[in-house]
Amino acid sequence: MMKKRVIIVGSGPAGLFGALELSRDSGIEVCIFEKKSRCGGAGTNSDGKLVLSGEVGGEMPGIIGQDRFHQLMGVVDRTFTRFGGEQKIYEKNYRKIKKLVETAASFDMHLIPTKTRHFGSDNAPEIVKNIKEELEKRGVKIYLNTPVESVEKKDKVFLVKTGGKDPKEFESDYVIVATGRDRTGWWVELAKNLGLNTIKADTYDFGVRVEVPEYVFKPVTDYLYDPKFVIYKTKCTGDKVRTFCVCPKGQVITETESGLTLVNGHSFEKDSSRKTNNTNFAILVSTVLKQGFDKPFEFARNLSMLGNYLAVEGKVLVQRLGDLTAPQERRSYPERIEEIKDFIVPTLKTAFPGDIGHFIPYRPMRSILEMLERLNNMVPGISSDHTLLYAPEAKFYSNRVESSQDLETKIEGLFAVGDGAGITRGIMHASISGIVAAQAILKRCRN
């Protein structure tokens, strides 16, 4: 019998887990096309927090049901662990965690007690390398530096054209698009050309990265590695605000994407000599753009660009909270950051001391300050004058393409998974979505 061929576009967690699932069946030929020179996609090569929860990181439980989600969450967790993921789960003291949740509630905040397996920036690339080697051993063909430029369906066959140095055309029976939050909008454009319906995102997530001495947040991070505080409706604006990607003893870093410089954070797990004396985390405000405004991505992008303009040479800005909230506008100068070195030394040396109040809009800024104030009630010291705020920190979401419970689009055999499909926002949900599409293909091939 002729082997069925499946082409996977993108080698982030969604693509890799789709390939792992499909390559268990020797009757299927799997090819992965990756436009970059390495596999792993976005965060799998970065801090690598595997959040063991359906409550955050995507829509998968709503799509496939809680039971299947939890079963696949176990599969993903065991797979990462098998390929070298850190064994340790921080959240063990349930009585203490319950107490933290109750205390947060008394300050009008929701604390989502998720379990986290932290690979660490020193461990994550190794795990991806091990997965890639396993796939190659099973016969999966991985083409790096090979962007997919177009996908067409003729009769029952997909024609996939690749670009790069050696452009080619491939045929396949199925295609899984796993292109992540690709800033070029390639998938959105392709979906439009293929006549697929997309549901536009109407929200932008924008905010700051906060840095405090490690001991300040320790009363919480000792029990919850990545505490997720949420205020669903702030008193000041009614917007949703949340903490995100807490990095205990971590470093503030920058990520560059399509000409923008954004703040992010990471931390090391294996190499304790690289742990710092600070903890950083993002505060993100989700602002819904009403009045028919449907370009949240472009809006947040332009805001971020303004932040880069204010910092010399496209850097990110850093400001002391005390300077931001001073009665008269006070930007932070290098001397003012230096003055507080006995209390905190910024881990991101290239950040430009300035005034983030010049480019963060009123609504998100007020919600950020409200979150800091409420956190400070629970964790005194979080909103000290010396607390450092870095910006811009922004998260962009993709438009959602209409699909079935199996993540198959209206075009039979074409699946859209992961962040690019607008249904996931983290490694766990993205990996699960890849498995879901793969299982649907396997079922069809076996029938």
Ligand X SMILES: Cc1cc2nc3c(=O)[nH]c(=O)nc-3n(C[C@H](O)[C@H](O)[C@H](O)COP(=O)(O)OP(=O)(O)OC[C@H]3O[C@@H](n4cnc5c(N)ncnc54)[C@H](O)[C@@H]3O)c2cc1C
Q: Would you say the C-alpha torsion 128, 134, 135, 137 has a positive or negative sign?
A: positive
- Give the angle subtended at the CA of 392 by the CAs of 361 and 345, to the nearest 5°: 120
Closest separation in Å from C-beta 46 to ligand X: 4
Cα gap 372→408, rounded to integer Å? 42
CA-CA distances (angstroms) from residue 407 to 67, 227, 297? 17, 30, 23
Considering the rule CB under 6 A, would residue 415 count as an interface residue with ligand X? no
Only segment of 175-183, 296-304, 309-317, 321-329 that touches ligand X (CB under 6 A): 175-183
Only segment of 76-84, 94-102, 343-351, 426-434 that touches ligand X (CB under 6 A): 426-434
Considering the rule CB under 6 A, would residue 425 count as an interface residue with ligand X? yes
Dihedral-angle region of residue 47 (phi above 0 means left; psi in -120 to 50 means alpha; beta otherwise) = alpha
Cα gap 137→135, rounded to integer Å? 5
Closest separation in Å from C-beta 260 to ligand X: 12
Helices (H), 163-288: 186-193, 214-221
Instruction: Give the containing element (helix H, strand E) for 427.
Output: helix 427-446
Only segment of 42-50, 125-133, 382-390, 401-409 that touches ligand X (CB under 6 A): 42-50
Considering the rule CB under 6 A, would residue 23 count as an interface residue with ligand X? no
Dihedral-angle region of residue 352 (phi above 0 means left; psi in -120 to 50 means alpha; beta otherwise) = beta
Which amino acid would we find at residue 107? F
- Please name every residue paired with 413 in a beta bridge, in sequence order, or none if there are none: none
- Options 5, 35, 301, 331; binder of ligand X; rule CB under 6 A: 35
- Options 4, 8, 11, 31; binder of ligand X; rule CB under 6 A: 11
Please name which of 249, 295, 231 lies closest in space to residue 118, comparing C-alpha atoms.
249
Only segment of 43-51, 98-106, 152-160, 354-362 that touches ligand X (CB under 6 A): 43-51
| Binding footprint of ligand X, residue count (CB under 6 A) | 40
Closest separation in Å from C-beta 238 to ligand X: 27
DSSP for residue 140: -
Only segment of 5-13, 69-77, 401-409, 436-444 that touches ligand X (CB under 6 A): 5-13
- Residues 301-320, interacting with ligand X (CB under 6 A): none
Considering the rule CB under 6 A, would residue 395 count as an interface residue with ligand X? no
Closest separation in Å from C-beta 441 to ligand X: 17
Considering the rule CB under 6 A, would residue 42 count as an interface residue with ligand X? yes
Phi, psi dihedrals of residue 435, rounded to the nearest 5°: -65, -40
DSSP for residue 24: T
Considering the rule CB under 6 A, would residue 15 count as an interface residue with ligand X? yes
Only segment of 33-41, 217-225, 292-300, 351-359 that touches ligand X (CB under 6 A): 33-41
The answer to whether 432 and 76 have CB atoms below 8 angstroms apart is: yes
The tally of CA atoms less than 13 A away on the side-chain side of residue 203 is: 13
Closest separation in Å from C-beta 249 to ligand X: 15
Considering the rule CB under 6 A, would residue 18 count as an interface residue with ligand X? no
Considering the rule CB under 6 A, would residue 426 count as an interface residue with ligand X? yes
Q: Is 388 exposed, middle or buried (0-12, 13-18, 19+ CB in 10 A)?
A: buried
- Options 46, 114, 278, 383; binder of ligand X; rule CB under 6 A: 46
Closest separation in Å from C-beta 335 to ligand X: 31
- Options 212, 430, 437, 442; binder of ligand X; rule CB under 6 A: 430
Instruction: Give the containing element (helix H, strand E) for 128.
Output: helix 124-137
- Options 69, 83, 158, 186; binder of ligand X; rule CB under 6 A: 186
Considering the rule CB under 6 A, would residue 179 count as an interface residue with ligand X? yes
Considering the rule CB under 6 A, would residue 390 count as an interface residue with ligand X? no
Minimum CB distance to ligand X smaller for 337 or for 394 = 394
- Options 4, 6, 22, 34; binder of ligand X; rule CB under 6 A: 34
CA-CA distances (angstroms) from residue 183 to 151, 260, 428? 19, 11, 21
Cα gap 92→370, rounded to integer Å? 30
Instruction: Give the containing element (helix H, strand E) for 231.
Output: strand 228-231
Considering the rule CB under 6 A, would residue 86 count as an interface residue with ligand X? no
Considering the rule CB under 6 A, would residue 33 count as an interface residue with ligand X? yes
Helices H, strands E: what count in the chain? Answer: 12, 22
Considering the rule CB under 6 A, would residue 20 count as an interface residue with ligand X? no
Residues that bind ligand X (CB under 6 A): 9-15, 33-36, 41-44, 46-49, 51, 57, 147-148, 178-182, 186, 255, 264, 418-420, 424-428, 430
